[in-house]
Amino acid sequence: MDTVIELSGVVAVLGQFPALAGVDLSVQCGEIVLLQGPNGAGKTSLLRVCAGLMPIERGTGHVLGIDLATNREAIRSRVGLLGHANGLYLDLTVMQNLQFWASTVAATASEVSTAMSTMRIDGRLADVKASQLSAGQRRRCALASLIVRRAEIWLLDEPHAGLDAAGRDELDALLRSAVASGATVVLASHERDRALDLATRTVTIDGGGAA
Amino acid sequence: MAKTSGTGTSATRRLGIVVILMLATLALCGLWFSAEDVVQGSTVRIMYIHVPSIWTAYIAFGLAALCSGVYLSGKNRSLAWDRVAGASGEIGVLFVAVSLVTGSMWGRLTWGTYWVWDARLTSTAFLFITYVGYLAVRQLGGTHRQRARRSSVLALLAILEIPLVHFSVTLWRSLHQEASVANPNAKVELDGLMLFSLFLGLVAFTMLFVWLVLHRQRAMMLEDAFSDRGLDVAITARRNEAGA
Amino acid sequence: MEHASFIFGSWIITAVSVGAYAIWVLRRGRELAKQATREEMPWT
Amino acid sequence: MSTTGISKRRVVIAVARKDLTIEWNSRILVNQVAPFAAIVMVLFAFALDNDGILQRVAPGLVWLATLFSMLVVIQRSFTVESADGALDALRVAGVDMGAIFMGKTIALMVQLFVLELMLVATAVILYGVEMTLAGFCEAIVTLVVATIGLGSVGTLYGGLAAGARGRETLLPLLLLPAVAPVLIGATRATEAAFGSGGTTVSEGWPWIGLLLVFAVLFSAVGTVAFGPLVDE
């Protein structure tokens, strides 16, 4: 199996604070890796580094064979990140949000409607403004816009947050099918039992490093 | 340690002594030995510091843009370029401020008011504000590389804005006296000693600028080094959180 | 000398502001250098 | 930056349409910014309560009100991006920063243009400005060219200030000195169009040339400089 994420001694800072203080991590293609650890352990920063969003100060890292230190912009179009924020425009309707995200990555209208029905935000919800959605519905929207991205690596930060029981099942099914079609998943979740069931491997993060 | 305390070396010390001697000579020539101007009278003595200050400011902003360009185009992107640009920008702001104050005092004597809406004055004021903004952006925080990238782009934008602002303000209004050395028909006629004083001022201020930049960018290097060292401490502290 | 206050005033303002900045830079450098190692001061 | 091979033009259009749809859905410009600009014009009339003065300085007031309102519109344009991490999401999606810049600039220009039309109309009504047909044409050309310049610089510095703490104060500090040429050029050109203080329409064209230089320069530079200024 190919190694898709390879980090060694990675330090990343927020302002002057070392959110990551020397992380080593290796993820193979097709894995579902669960990051666990207390709040403030550095899980979010680790996902942002893997997405090429946060620069690394020290250490070396490669994602999909691309060097994080020199060329992290090239990683971005090939991975999908679901952060704490959903990345929605609150003044746009669900449909308008999805159409916008689809047009930035050249997804077709049928892909959009498939993603919307997968996350069950089609029908009546499609014309509701994002600002009027519940937290769980916004999460579904964000996941739908992630589906149309067709990412090779899915980086998910608390994807279960706000979802109801049915939504969590649907999410798990979605991730399993993504992996079945060749993707890799790294997720951080406090839904321990559910995530352990889903994950093929668990990595504990604490004090800004992989323990 | 004793011989090289602080940001100085024997070279900067020698440069510093030369600068002080030149500035002292400038004060003697400018304030005492040189003749008064036929038209402007004694007020021409302000010129010997006013013109070199604005000259130095232009050199400083030019150097800041140059170093920023080198930083952005360079392969290994040494932060040294960013620090020289930052030191230069800071000193440039100081000299623009000085030249605005001395210029308005000169204006008070020749035009009768501290401020006239003349092209050169107005565009110099814009120059000042633009680089105050540049210094503010340098203080935004983040990592050294973020600071360097943002401020380098901004320094290049500023150097682009300056001619546009100057040109538009000149079109808007022009009452200023012509640059006197370039134009032989201007109001100020410089004799030998006056010319000497002016050029001495230009040379002395330029060397003073070099001296200041050397010291300031070394101090900045230490500031950066210390925050890196702070990072080492913070990383250790962060790793220890794991056990706790 | 005519207008002596303005002329000397402008020279003094220049000297004081540039001088104060120079002294600040020197003192800051000296203060930082006290805690610096040789490797952090490549000019020495 | 983008490796997905979608055309840049498509992204530009998508971003511009998205920003305009947001405005259409929320009506901030119509319900808040435009009334603000209008009240500024009325306040100018109170402050400069003198027969003849208002008519003479109307062009400058129009552009001053535009600049102040523009600050609000730009802040808004980047608040919607950062409110729910949408700009981060765009960056992770590898969307070309130059295309985002152009899209947001176009949306800002459309909004500014509407605002300026409204302000000119206010000046005509409140300050008693009279225009010839040639003057009207010149005024429209001035609005278009000045708006291109304002939109470009505004988006560029708005993006820089969006990532910063204290952005509310940083944006005017960076932006207002940079747009001084637009204020000067647009005011003079509009004076010629209005015929304020005995100027003629033909006197305005050189100023429109200045505006054109500014617009071309900053729309080109902004496309290149936006990415490095905004990205981490």
Q: Which two tokens stand for residue A56?
A: 């690394």
D1 pLDDT exceeds 50?
A: no
Q: Are residues A146 and A156 in the same domain?
A: no
d(CA B244, nearest CA chain C) in Å:
31
Q: How is residue A37 written in tokens?
A: 């650890």
| Structure-token match 């054109």, residue found | D212
- Does residue B9 lie within any of the structural domains? no
What the block records as the tokens of B233 is: 């401490």
The residue assigned the tokens 């209208």 is: A109
Does residue A157 sit in the same domain as residue A63? Answer: yes
**Could you tell me the two tokens for D4?**
């997905």
Q: Which residue of C has its CA nearest to B102?
A: C10
pLDDT score at B203: 95
- For C11, the closest of B6, B31, B91 (CB atoms) is B31
Average pLDDT on A97-126 reads: 89
The answer to whether the Cβ–Cβ distance between A207 and B241 falls below 8 Å is yes
Shared-domain flag, residues A200 and A132: no
Question: Is A114 part of a structural domain of the chain?
Answer: yes
Nearest CA distance, B126 vs chain D (angstrom): 6
- A89 and A65 in one domain? no
In a shared domain, residues A59 and A158: yes
Burial class (CB in 10 A: 0-12, 13-18, 19+), B175: exposed
> In terms of Cα–Cα distance, which of A106, A133, A132 is closest to A119?
A133
Q: What pLDDT does residue B177 have?
A: 46
> pTM of this prediction?
0.89
Domain count, chain B: 1
Task: Report the mean per-residue pLDDT for chain A.
Answer: 89
Closest Cα in chain A to D18: A100
Interface test with B, best of C5, C13, C14 (most B CBs within 10 A): C14
Residues A156 and A107 in one domain: no
Q: Which domain holds residue A129?
A: 82-150
Distance between A3 CA and the closest CA of chain B, angstroms: 26
CB contact under 8 A, D177 and B130: yes
Shared domain check, A131 and A62? no
- Please tell me whether residues A9 and A65 are part of one structural domain: yes
Calpha distance B30→B196 (Å, rounded): 9
In a domain, B206, yes or no: yes
CB D161 within 8 A of CB D171: yes
Question: Cβ B129–D185 below 8 Å, yes or no?
Answer: no
Contact at CB, D180 and B150, closer than 8 angstroms: no
Report the CATH number that the domain containing residue A37 is assigned in CATH. Answer: 3.40.50.300
Based on the fold, state whether residues A22 and A74 are members of the same structural domain.
yes
Same domain, A73 and A105: no
Q: What total of structural domains would you count in chain A?
A: 2
Of A17, A55, A207, the CB nearest to B240: A207
In angstroms, the CA D64 to CA D76 distance is 19
Looking at residue A123, what is its pLDDT? 85
Would you list which residues of chain B are within 8 Å, Cβ to Cβ, of chain A? 141-143, 145-146, 227, 230-231, 234-236, 238-243
Nearest CA in chain A to D7: A106
Tens of pLDDT, residues A46-64: 999 999 888 888 899 999 9
Q: What is the pLDDT of residues D10-54, one digit of tens each?
A: 899 999 999 999 999 999 898 999 999 999 999 988 888 776 788
Q: Measure the CA–CA gap between C27 and C30, rounded to whole angstroms.
A: 5
Hey, is the C-beta of A15 within 8 angstroms of any chain B C-beta? yes
Residue of chain A minimizing CA distance to B234: A18
**Residue of A17, A55, A209 lying closest to B239 (CB–CB):** A209
Residues A58 and A92 reside in one and the same domain: no
ipTM for the complex shown: 0.86
- Write out pLDDT tens, residues D115-164: 999 999 998 888 888 888 999 999 999 999 999 999 999 999 999 888 76
CB atoms under 10 Å from CB of B167, counted, come to: 17
Q: Any chain C CB within 8 A of the CB of B83? A: no
Task: Count chain B–chain C contacts defined by CB atoms under 8 A.
Answer: 100
- CA D185, CA D67: separation in Å to the nearest integer? 13
Helices (H), B117-191: 119-138, 144-172
Residue-range domain boundaries for chain D:
8-230
Q: Are residues A98 and A191 in the same domain?
A: no
- Which among A54, A87, A90 is the nearest to D89, CB-wise? A87
Q: What is the pLDDT of residues A116-129, one digit of tens each?
A: 998 888 888 899 99
Please give the residue of chain A at the shortest CA–CA distance from D17.
A100
Residue A64 domain-assigned?
yes
| pLDDT one-digit tens code per residue, D157-213 | 999 888 766 667 899 999 999 999 999 999 999 989 988 777 888 888 889 999 999
Against chain C, the chains showing at least 3 CB pairs within 8 Å are: B
Strands A66-67 and A58-63: antiparallel
- Rounded to a whole number of angstroms, the distance from the CA of D86 to the nearest CA of chain B is 21
pLDDT at B186 over 60: no
